[in-house]
Structure 1
Amino acid sequence: MTKLTYSSIENPTLTSWVWIAPAKSTAKKNQQGYSSLKRFDLLQPLRQMLDKVDVRDRELAHRLCQMIPTQCPFEREVKLFGRTLFRIPPLCKLNPLYDEVVALRFRALCYLADECGEDVSCYC
């Protein structure tokens, strides 16, 4: 039983902890802690295709570096009379293929820099 004093009423604090049992899950977890239930990923074939693109052509590498931007083109700060009204966050992270596209651009940059010996600072 908790003893109430003047100081505990004036400065209320949590005096007891409550244990809530977690809900029982029917899905079994594997060694990594992930659920063994597999979800269907509609974009998985496209992800695999982008990951399998082997950049071995200088022209293709240049085209990829020109087409894939370094920063999100949608990120903006809307200003009026020098004061920021609101900021639009980078929306590229909402793209489900964002990681694969950025990795493809990185592979193209690495090919140009390492294999072709070109200066890629114009693409950064």
Structure 2
Amino acid sequence: MINFTYSQLFTQIPSAPLNIIKEKLGNWDIREKNMAKKIVSLIPNQCPFAKDIYLFNKKLFTIPPLCKFNPLYEDLMMLRFRALSFLSEIGEDITPYCQ
């Protein structure tokens, strides 16, 4: 009979695919204006999942933003920031992307 504790069970789950994706996002070198614009337009500047639930014009509850639970959230935000930085370095107006 094999006995596993809770922590031993979850330390053996492979996280390699997630780490590979995180590494690719972190090492992505942005060198083209069109690619930077596409990245900035595809990744929203704030978490879009927060939602207020109303019934007959009365707020019942709020669903909090769940982006912090996404394991790639910070990596995607850093990729968007690097794309915005690249656009500002080449003299592009980035104010439309910051609203």
CA RMSD of aligned residues (A): 1.7
Aligned: 1:117 with 2:91? yes
Measure the CA separation in 2 of the matches of 1:102 and 1:52. Answer: 14
Structure label with greater radius of gyration = 1
TM-score, reference length from structure 2 = 0.79
* 3-state SS of paired residue (2:62): strand
Q: 1 or 2, which has the higher helix percentage?
A: 2
User: 30, 37, 44: which is aligned to 2:19?
Assistant: 44
* 3-state SS of paired residue (1:87): strand
User: 43, 62, 65: which is aligned to 1:68?
Assistant: 43
Measure the CA separation in 1 of the matches of 2:56 and 2:84. Answer: 40
* 3-state SS of paired residue (2:93): coil
User: 36, 54, 58: which is aligned to 2:29?
Assistant: 54
Runs of 5+ consecutive residues of structure 2 not aligned to the other structure:
1-10
Measure the CA separation in 1 of the matches of 2:39 and 2:33. Answer: 10
Runs of 5+ consecutive residues of structure 1 not aligned to the other structure:
1-36
Measure the CA separation in 2 of the matches of 1:105 and 1:55. Answer: 10
User: 87, 105, 118: which is aligned to 2:62?
Assistant: 87
Measure the CA separation in 2 of the matches of 1:70 and 1:102. Answer: 8
Runs of 4+ in structure 1 over 6 Å off: none
Q: Post-superposition shift, 1:101?
A: 0.5
Relative contact order (alpha carbons < 8 A, sep ≥ 6): 1 or 2 greater? 2
How much identity, in percent, do the aligned residues show? 43
Measure the CA separation in 1 of the matches of 2:78 and 2:49. Answer: 20
Report the number of matched residues.
86
